[in-house]
Amino acid sequence: MKAIRYGLSLAAFAASGLGLPACGAPAERDSAIAERGAAPELVAARMPGQEAGLEGADAPEEAAADETETEADEPADAEAVSGEPAEEISVDGKDLPYKTWHHLTMPGETVTIEADAPVELVIDGETVGETAERHEWTAPDAPDTLEVRLVDGTGEAHEISLFVLAPLNGDTVMEGYRIGEYPQNAPEGLIRLTEDDMDTPVSPSFTIGQFICKQQPGHWPKFALVSGNLLLRLEAVLAELQEDALTDADSFFVMSGYRTPFYNTEIRSARLSRHMYGDAADIYPDVAGNDSVMDDLNGDGRITRADAEFLYDYAEDLFAAKNLPEGGIGAYDANAIHGPFVHIDGRGTRARWGRFGS
């Protein structure tokens, strides 16, 4: 095994130019799959005791081309064209669940990449070091968004969006962007984002731009977080819905993703909302009409709380059958501002609310 270590100061870095099988469907779902109805009617009735909000709600607080390359994917190093595939790759000890993923690191930290076969490390289009089964690379000293490709001997690549975080250091405002004060367990840093970063993938079906906070819409840079546990749960639900022909959406509409503590307070959400930690999203599929309203999932010809409860039950059954990170699910009705939706998070413990009987 060949091990390579790369150390880059900020100046050197700048000079270098690096710039799930389907689970069993319950009877209601089978009926919905078989009976796809006519164009649905939106029914936006508010449940007793439910208040209109600016956006999604939360669980109750207690539930809380390098010139040496001749083709884009062809490795430059001779060892990398041995034909040996890399099937298992980890970054800082965490296995990559998909060929498209993301990773968070702090400035100056060492990022360790390990594979079960030699891989070429390519950062922002530039090959770094030699092909090896293990790479150690030092992140730059300033926040950045980097495109990392790990190319194996067959030419197959794993693509990682590497976010070098901006240290939080207790700041309540970062470059003019209001953060506010975390009530507890403040993250070490946040992802710094420019307009050019919005299409950066964080998983096969989602980009970082889908999760940004809705505050200060014209202000750049923005700051955000997104967690792997949340994305694993979202990807699993989306894939299952596609498998059951309940949606042909490429992604979910994310009504609310990351929220700064400042914004979370402004909309009077739960004090310990998981949205502030980047592991919660209020979502729904929206293909029919592309009208920012949940599609008619249960096939009854209307869009109501019943569709949110259908998605809630669907996710509940899926999470019970799959080996996925634990987390929360909540169902919400439509109101005067938004249609019905489902909250999914990856908090690490089970939490359920908003479904009658939950």
Segment (H or E) for 323? none
Instruction: Retrieve residue 337's tokens.
Output: 């501002």
> 65-164 and 175-358: same fold?
no
Nearest to 226 by CA among 265, 171, 281, 264: 281
In the block, tokens 């992604």 appear at: 251
CA–CA distances in Å: residue 10 to residues 67, 144, 165: 24, 11, 14
Mean pLDDT to the nearest integer, 242-254: 96
Q: Domain spanning 65-164: which CATH class is it, in words?
A: mainly beta
The residue among 271, 226, 300 whose CA lies nearest residue 40 is 300
The answer to whether 179 and 168 have CB atoms below 8 angstroms apart is: yes
pLDDT tens digits, one per residue of 137-156: 999 999 999 999 999 999 99
CB neighbour class for 144 (10 Å; exposed up to 12, middle 13-18, buried from 19): buried
At residue 356, the pLDDT reads 79
Residue of higher predicted confidence among 13 and 135: 135
- CA-to-CA dists, residue 319 to 22, 60, 228, 345, 346, angstroms: 11, 21, 16, 12, 11
The stretch 196-213 carries a mean pLDDT of 98
| Of 156, 281, 272, 131, the residue nearest 213 (C-alpha) | 281
CATH of 175-358, one of 3.10.310, 3.30.70, 3.30.1380, 3.30.300: 3.30.1380
Place of tokens 């690549």: 157
Record the pTM.
Answer: 0.80
Say if residues 186 and 127 touch (Cβ distance below 8 Å).
Answer: no
Express each pLDDT in 23-80 by its tens digit.
344 445 555 545 444 445 544 444 333 333 445 556 554 344 344 444 445 444 444 4
Binning pLDDT at 50, 70 and 90, where does residue 291 land?
confident
Alpha-carbon span 136 to 347, nearest angstrom: 30
Asked if pLDDT for residue 224 goes beyond 70, the answer is yes
Where are the chain's structural domains?
Answer: 65-164, 175-358
For 32-41, 218-227, 262-271, which range has the lowest pLDDT when averaged over its residues?
A: 32-41
Model confidence over 301-329: pLDDT tens digits? 999 999 999 999 999 999 999 999 999 99
- Bond into 204 cis (ω within 30): no
Residues 75, 284 contacting (CB under 8 angstroms) = no
